[in-house]
Amino acid sequence: MKKIYLPALFLILVLTNQIYRVNAQQKSIAQKVDSVLRLMTLEEKIGQLNQYNDDNEATGPVTLDNDKISQIRNGQVGSLLNTKGTDRVRSFQKVAMESHLKIPLIFGQDVIHGYKTTFPIPLAEACSWDLDAITLSARISATEASASGINWTFAPMVDIARDPRWGRVMEGAGEDPYLGSKIAFARVKGFQGNKLGDTNSVMACAKHFAAYGAAIGGRDYNSVDMSDRLLWEVYLPPFKATVDAGVATFMNSFNDINGVPSTANSYLQRDILKGKWGFKGFVVSDWGSIGEMINHGNVKDGYEAAWSAITAGCDMDMESRNYKNNLVQLVKDKKVPITLIDDAVKRILQKKFEMGLFDDPYKFCNAEREQIELNDPEHAKAARLIASKSIVLLKNDPLPGGAGVGLLPLSKNIKTIAFIGPLVKALKQNKGFWDVEIPGLDSNFIVSQWEGIKNKVGTGTKLLYAKGCGIEGDNKDGFAEAIEIAKQADVIILSIGERRDMSGEAKSRSNINIPGVQEELLKVLLATGKPVVVLINAGRPLVFNYTADNAPAIVYTWWLGSEAGNAIADVLFGDYNPSGKLAITFPLSVGQIPIYYSHFNTGRPAYSDDNHNYNSSYNDLSIFPKYDFGYGLSYTTFEYSNLQLSNKKMKANGQIEVSLNVTNTGKFDGEEIVQLYIRDKVGSICRPVNELKDFQKIKINAGETKIIKFNIDKEKLSFYNQKLQWVAEPGEFELNIGASSKDIRLKDNFELVK
Ligand code: GLC
């Protein structure tokens, strides 16, 4: 006994000291915050709650106003957004250092999927299902942004979206709360790095709180109408995941939920976020959303808007100026207690201290580091790999007489390739929406699709180009030239799709077909009898049934970022075996929307297209989407076998170990995303026909078999009941292991017992 006594005592002393030091460090920041707060006038406190857009670029409707510099010098500004480059950041920070209390500014930017090095749009990255790669993408984005003076990114956007008419579907992680939560966590970890205050870390911002992706009709900024139960079950989990990841800030959303604008929603911001979830960071409004409550008809004027927002827990006012113009009076009128102002100010000061900005206001303004980080070749390599991982192979039909072999991958020794389409030589298009425009930087660092293929093929390959047609419009003058080069080619690659700014903010579309005459171009090229690979570039699921039904090979390339050309070439020529799977359902027609896999069964379910009588279906449309959630092909095939459950009955505090074999039965090494779905057969609330509850992305070489293991616990069986209690109810459950939400390979049942 004595022998182990001393070491244990030593360990306790060390741990106590550690805890004391951490507390002391934390306490010292809290003390510093309090000491600054005590010196602040009411006007200076309110200044910290005021964020302006830098005049050089706007990501929303701009308000031209008086000199921001004097306001910064008077301590009336807490933060700027869209300020680019270390020199410009330094110039504003220097003015803040001339103010009475020298409180540093924080600089925010929409670094959504890259700063200079541009990664695939977030929806494309989500199709990689590769959490490590997604974290790395955010990590590199933060490294470059922080080297350029930015210490706060307005990302990750974690809005669940099930309506591809909504342009911002490109910015999130798709339709599923489980996959969306995992990706939200990964992105926060990537942006914030080891800890806030590291020079290569930026504050992340979970947005848009909440349910912005459920806008009625997929029309941006439109109302959202849903039960609290659905809000908790589908739309809140990714936000909770960001809190679990230690996210520094939140941004509330433009929309109202059930008639309450999120900016004024104290249930969201105080009861849930700051109360139940214990969030200690701060909440910023979305661009002008405080003032927009007047448009909502929720308040009568700016005075009421400021009162409503600060009372509901919105700490910082982006661009509306209502805090700056009204909060002093509201405090003097005793409409807003100073304690609410102090709480908001302390939350903001806390983050400025944690970021180390009080110690060194210029720590993110190192022009030398900026040049190094923005030109690190390792960043481009990482971007190329995650871009390859984000590509989804939708079709690769066996060629006639091809002995079951598809057109892809292409041989690098093809004699002649005709590369056709309006996006072949585009540069910036590949960046998608929410790219960062860096002043003075041209687009030549972006690898076009043409360049990517040229880099890939051998000197013996002749590469022919024709634009064929525009993205929009009905001009077919270019068809003849396209047909001409097609006739000379052994294979045609056709790159079509939407323009990069046809999805993104304020880009809702009622028609999500491939625009213009691009599919007609495909038709005339198919008529030449040459094999055609179609690349579809988009920020959303598009409807392209002619292409889907007639092209032998289709690759969904989304918008892949600055290494797009190389990534596409890696996949087309087999240097990377495509592994992406859809993170969102692709509708057969816009008339099917909303359509998603985890739907309730209804009392009159439709199971086939043979019968539309008296069941939940459209009489004039198939019940099936074009492509299912979780769908994506590979150049190889995988066989699932030997499903085993450790037990078929599970107690609430127990678990079931699941194991199965996955064999690569093809000729190519590849990665498979094994998806575990569960169906709760009977619940006090109807339960979805399937719900993703786990997944693993694994590399399996040709001919190899791997054993995959999962664990099922009560958490995976739980849902929000009518009283909003998170419960797992005893009864029968179905276990579905799939290569997609529809392609279920192995099934079994188990029971949760009391
Ligand atoms: C925009 C977007 C938001 C963005 C902010 C700053 O309107 O809604 O996502 O972070 O304004 O650019």
Query: What pLDDT, in 10s, does the model give residues 728-743?
Result: 999 999 999 999 999 9
Instruction: Report the pLDDT averaged over residues 76-82.
Output: 97
What is the C-alpha separation between 435 and 343, in angstroms, rounded?
Answer: 34
Q: How far is the CA of 59 from the centre of ligand 1 (A)?
A: 6
DSSP line for 8-47: HHHHHHHHHHHHHHHHHHHHHHHHHHHHHHHH--HHHHHH
Ligand 1 mutation pick, 54, 106, 107, 154, max ligand atoms within 8 A of CB: 154
Share of the chain above pLDDT 90, in %: 92
With b meaning 16 or more CB within 10 Å and e meaning fewer, what string describes 190-207?
bbbbeebbbbbbbbbbbb
Bridge-partner residues for 417, per DSSP?
463, 491
DSSP reduced 3-state for 598? coil
For residue 266, how far is its CA from the centre of ligand 1 (angstroms)?
A: 21
Return the exposure string of 51-63: e unless at least 16 CB atoms fall within 10 Å of the residue's CB, then b: bbbbeeeeebeee
**pLDDT confidence of residue 63:** 63
Q: Which of 679, 651, 663 is nearest to 737 (CA)?
A: 679
Considering the chain, what is the average pLDDT of its residues? Answer: 95
Residue 13 confidence (pLDDT) = 67
* Closest alpha carbon to 372 in 94, 80, 56, 86: 86
Evaluate if residue 57 carries a pLDDT over 70: no
pLDDT band at residue 2, thresholds of 50, 70 and 90? very low
Q: Is the CB of 125 under 6 A from ligand 1?
A: no
Q: Which residue has the higher pLDDT, 27 or 337?
A: 337
Summarised one tens digit per residue, pLDDT across range 390-403 is 999 999 998 877 67
pLDDT tens-digit map of 269-278: 999 999 999 9
The pLDDT confidence band at residue 404, using thresholds 50, 70 and 90, is confident
Q: Tell me whether strands 491-497 and 416-420 are parallel, antiparallel or unpaired.
A: parallel
374-387 residue pLDDT tens: 999 999 999 999 99
pLDDT band at 681 (very low <50, low <70, confident <90, very high): very high
Ligand 1 lined by 434 (C-beta under 6 Å): no
Which residue in the block uniquely carries the two structure tokens 């590291």?
A: 198
Residue in 158, 286, 317 to alter for ligand 1 test, most ligand atoms within 8 A of Cβ? 286
Identity of residue 351: K
Q: Do residues 125 and 174 lie in contact, with contact meaning Cβ atoms separated by under 8 Å? A: no
What phi, psi does 157 have (nearest 5°)? -80, 120
> Which is the closest atom of ligand 1 to the Cα of 207?
9
Which ligand 1 atom lies nearest to the CA of residue 110?
10
Tens-digit pLDDT profile for residues 135-186: 999 999 999 999 999 999 999 999 999 999 999 999 999 999 999 999 999 9
For a mutational test of ligand 1's pocket, the pick from 106, 222, 503, 505, i.e. the residue with the most ligand atoms closer than 8 A to its C-beta, is: 505
pLDDT attached to residue 67 = 85
Ligand 1 neighbourhood includes 505 CB (under 6 angstroms): yes
pLDDT at 18: 60
Please identify, by atom number, the ligand 1 atom nearest to the C-alpha of residue 205: 10
For residue range 605-614, list pLDDT tens digits in order: 999 999 999 9
Nearest Cα neighbor of 540 from 563, 522, 514, 564 is 514
Q: Is residue 584 predicted with pLDDT exceeding 60?
A: yes
Q: Which residue has the higher pLDDT, 293 or 55?
A: 293
Q: How far is the CA of 478 from the centre of ligand 1 (A)?
A: 39
So what's the pLDDT on residue 392?
99
Residue 120: its pLDDT value, please? 98
**Which residue puts its alpha carbon closest to atom 12 of ligand 1?**
59
Beta carbon of 59 within 6 Å of any ligand 1 atom = yes
CA distance 240 to 11: 34
**Annotated catalytic residue within 130, 256, 286, 628:** 286
Around 424, how many Cα atoms within 13 Å sit in the side-chain half-sphere? Answer: 25
**Predicted local distance difference test score (pLDDT) of residue 14:** 65
The response to whether residue 60 sits with its C-beta less than 6 Å from ligand 1 reads: yes
Query: Sheet harboring 249-252: ordered strands across?
Result: 205-209, 249-252, 282-284
| Best mutation site among 287, 317, 320 for ligand 1 pocket (most ligand atoms within 8 Å of CB) | 287
Q: Are 648 and 734 in contact (CB under 8 A)?
A: no
Query: Confidence band (pLDDT; 50, 70, 90) for 15?
Result: low
Residue 354 Cβ < 6 Å to ligand 1 = no
Q: What is the mean pLDDT of residues 434-461?
A: 94
Could you tell me the distance, in angstroms and rounded to a whole number, from the CA of residue 288 to the centre of ligand 1? 9
Residue 367 pLDDT more than 50?
Answer: yes
Q: Report the separation in Å between the CA atom of 475 and the middle of ligand 1, taken as the mean of its atom positions.
A: 36
Residue 375 CB contacts under 8 Å (≥ 6 apart), including other chains: none
Closest CA to 29 of 346, 273, 335: 346
Q: How many CB atoms lie within 10 A of CB 291?
A: 23
The tokens for 341 are 């102002």
User: Is the CB of residue 287 below 6 angstroms from any atom belonging to ligand 1?
Assistant: yes
Active-site residue flag, 271:
no
For tokens 């350029």, what's the residue? 148
Which amino acid, residue 474?
A: D
Q: Report how far ligand 1's centroid is from the alpha carbon of 434 (Å).
A: 10
Edge-first strand listing for the sheet containing 705-713: 638-645, 655-664, 705-713
Instruction: Estimate the crossing angle of helix 322-332 against helix 338-354, to 10 degrees.
Output: 140
Does residue 207 have its Cβ closer than 6 Å to ligand 1? yes
Q: If you count them, how many residues does the chain have? A: 754
194-244 confidence digits (pLDDT tens): 999 999 999 999 999 999 999 999 999 999 999 999 999 999 999 999 999
The pLDDT of residue 399 is 83
Residue 68 CA to residue 92 CA, distance in Å, equals 10
Residue bearing the CA closest to ligand 1, atom 11: 287
Determine if ligand 1 sits within 6 Å of the CB of residue 695. Answer: no
The 3-class SS string of 102-166 reads CCCCEEEECCCCECCCECCCHHHHHCCCCHHHHHHHHHHHHHHHHCCCCCEECCCECCCCCCCCC
- Other residues' Cβ atoms within 10 Å of the Cβ of residue 216: 12
Contact 151, 107 (CB under 8 A): yes
CA–CA distances in Å: residue 436 to residues 57, 64, 293, 388, 422 = 11, 22, 29, 21, 23
Closest CA to 545 of 512, 575, 574, 578: 512
Q: What is the DSSP string of 344-357?
A: HHHHHHHHHHHTTT
Separation of CA 99 and ligand 1 centre (Å): 28
Q: Is 622 touching ligand 1 by the criterion CB < 6 Å? A: no
Considering only CA atoms, which residue is closest to atom 8 of ligand 1?
Answer: 286
User: Per-residue pLDDT tens for 688-705?
Assistant: 999 999 999 999 999 999
Within 8 A by CB and 6+ apart from 601, the residues are 686, 689
- Which pLDDT score is estimated for 1? 41
Pick the range with the lowest mean pLDDT from 48-62, 271-285, 353-367, 666-680.
48-62
Using alpha carbons, select from 707, 555, 559 the residue that is nearest to residue 635.
Answer: 555
Query: Which pair of structure tokens corresponds to residue 471?
Result: 């993205």
Q: How far apart are CA 610 and CA 620, in angstroms?
A: 12
